[in-house]
């Protein structure tokens, strides 16, 4: 009912259905998360924050009341990160992205968004890059370095992205990916003569 009301644009009816659900099942975190999500979409941010914070306090609901996994852990933390990023409160955004990642380390969207917030939080871009790479236990491990460089390049931190790639101790069989990311960064820097051989190498590399 909640989802149907929301889909039809009946947000107030959806919110009333949420409250009815919570009155019947007060330990169902999923209802509270749905309320926060509706309020967020309505840009009623103060109420949305209160709702998502309530989700984190409630935690995971009893198994028989859980139908949207993550409503008491990474999902409200992710939404709070997004909300504070939209409000340009980047310190709080990073805090909640970190919390989301602590619950779900493979939530890569939160890692990319945290990179965006860090770049805006720290005027010193080298410091921002250092903070981002500290998320990885071993930033010199090929998959970590490639992801870190990709995030940095996406935020326009091209020298820092190249340094992350140059600090690699072993490509770990990911030479093609390394060439692609490095070539892309050099292309963005308009170093076309240096970028072209790397991108051509990727084109010549057969599919695994």
Confidence grade of residue 205 (pLDDT, cut at 50, 70, 90): low
**Both tokens of residue 116?**
């965006």
Q: What is the pLDDT of residues 46-67, one digit of tens each?
A: 999 999 999 999 999 998 988 9
Per residue in 170-192, pLDDT tens?
A: 777 788 888 888 899 999 999 98
Q: How confident is the model at residue 78 (pLDDT cuts 50, 70, 90)?
A: very high
**Buried (b) or exposed (e) across 170-181, using 16+ Cβ within 10 A?**
eeeebebbbbbb
What is the per-residue pLDDT for 206?
62
What's the CA gap between 100 and 110, in Å, rounded?
A: 7
134 and 140 Cβ atoms separated by less than 8 Å: no
* pTM > 0.75: yes or no: yes
Instruction: Copy the structure tokens of residue 109.
Output: 């969207």
Residue 15 has pLDDT above 70, yes or no: yes
Both tokens assigned to 51 = 């709702």
Is residue 131 within 8 Å of residue 111, measured between CB atoms? no
Instruction: Return the half-sphere exposure (C-beta side, CA atoms, 13 A cut-off) of residue 181.
Output: 27
Residue 169 CA, distance from chain mean position: 27
Tell me the pLDDT tens digit for each residue of 135-168.
Answer: 988 888 888 888 999 999 999 999 999 998 887 7
CB 115 within 8 A of CB 144: no
């Amino acid at each position: 009912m909640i989802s149907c009301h929301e889909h039809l644009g009946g947000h107030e009816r959806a919110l009333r259905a949420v409250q009815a659900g919570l009155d019947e099942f007060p330990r169902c975190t999923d209802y509270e998360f749905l309320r926060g999500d509706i309020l967020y979409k309505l840009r009623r941010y103060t109420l949305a924050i209160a709702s998502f914070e309530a989700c984190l306090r409630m935690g995971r609901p009893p198994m028989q009341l859980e139908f949207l996994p993550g409503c008491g852990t990474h999902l409200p933390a992710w939404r709070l990160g997004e909300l504070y990023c939209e409000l340009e409160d980047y310190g709080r955004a990073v805090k909640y992205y970190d919390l989301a990642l602590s619950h779900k380390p493979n939530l890569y969207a939160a890692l990319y968004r945290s990179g965006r917030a860090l770049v805006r939080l720290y005027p010193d871009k080298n410091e921002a890059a250092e903070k981002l790479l500290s998320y990885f236990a071993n930033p010199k491990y090929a998959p970590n370095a490639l992801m870190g460089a990709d995030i940095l390049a996406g935020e326009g931190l091209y020298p820092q992205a190249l340094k992350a790639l140059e600090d690699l101790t072993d490509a770990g069989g990911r030479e093609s990916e390394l060439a692609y990311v490095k070539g892309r960064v050099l292309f963005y820097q308009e170093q076309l003569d240096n970028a072209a051989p790397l991108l051509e190498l990727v084109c010549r590399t057969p599919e695994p």
